[in-house]
Amino acid sequence: MSELKQELKEKIIEQLNLEDVAVDEIQDNDPLFGEGLGLDSIDALELIVMLDKDYGIKLADPKEGRKIFESVQTMAAYIEENRSR
Amino acid sequence: MNTDYFIEGYCHIKNNRVLLNGEPLFTEKKPDFASFIKSVYQHFETDYPKFFKMDKLSKLAFMAADVLLKNSGRPVNEEENMAVVLSNRASSLDTDRRYQESIDDPDNFYPSPAVFVYTLPNICIGEISIRHKLYSENSFFIFDKFNADHLWHYSKSLINHKKADAVLCGWVDVEGDDYDAFLYIVSPKGDDKHKIEEITRLYFTQ
């Protein structure tokens, strides 16, 4: 799980072009949206694409994203449980 | 109405250089556009993380506008009645191609929302407007080459008809690693007369 969290932090920084953020600045429970990393709605769509492309997870209901993308911790837990690759 | 207007200031970004009112502010030879524009962002201490999410066209337009407006003596972070009228040759073709590549292969079909949102040239006007609180008229035109005549007529008309107090206008073009930005402010004050010949002269003076 901790390896997956590290991997997710790296992917989030790279794929969402967060050039001024370092991996060790993202805490597992930091909110990804709003006051945390400050991601926006386009970033949320990119994260949905990332789940599909890298972990074989298709979100049937976009509303699910709100809980899944709360933090790196919640993302990692969801991926562990649902990944097909 | 035949009111005289002026070119209050202008900025070029081309050939590894940033010039303000004809004076070089920054020069750095870089192997590609991406690393050059990043060094421009860093040099001018821009501090706007969303910059890194933009496509090439928006990055170029954003930096040219930022350098020009910050040095214009205008109040920072105050809403202004300034229109934005930009133009280019390649539209958003560079990003359009990048997006097309992401959907070419039916077995590896992952269209990127972050790339898709930049597949229109006028998105760069939105990026400038958000940063500088410019909520007036805006337009983006596509021409074969720099068209001083059209920009002159259009910006003059906007001010004459009281659609805006000033106009940020010009040319911002990117394709691959070729880039060319020339932005200027038209307003009732300044030293250079707002004339087609003068706009053309300034565009070619780099």
Backbone angles phi, psi at B65, to 5 degrees: -65, -40
Domain that holds residue B169: 6-204
DSSP A17: T
Residue A65: predicted pLDDT: 87
Fold classification of A2-82 is 1.10.1200
Span A53-83, pLDDT tens digits: 999 999 988 788 889 999 999 999 999 999 9
Residue B99 lies in a domain: yes
pLDDT means over runs of 10, chain B (206 residues)? 85 97 96 96 93 96 97 83 97 96 89 95 97 95 98 97 96 96 95 95 90
Residue B1 lies in a domain: no
Which residues 33-72 of chain B have a CB within 8 Å of chain A? 49, 52-53
The SS3 of residue B78 is coil
CATH number where B31 lies:
3.40.47.10
Domains identified in chain B, total number: 1
ipTM: 0.85
Distance from CA of A79 to the nearest CA of B (A): 19
Q: Residue B169 forms beta bridges with which residues? A: B85, B184
Residue B171 lies in a domain: yes
Residue B25 lies in a domain: yes
Q: Could A42 and B111 be called an inter-chain contact, meaning their C-beta atoms sit closer than 8 Å? A: no
Q: Could B52 and A17 be called an inter-chain contact, meaning their C-beta atoms sit closer than 8 Å? A: yes
- Domain extents for chain A? 2-82
Distances (CA, A) of A16 to A11, A37, B170: 8, 11, 30
Residue to mutate among B112, B115, B118, with most A CBs inside 10 A, is: B112
- Which contacts (CB < 8 Å, 24+ apart) does range B24-29 have? B25/B67
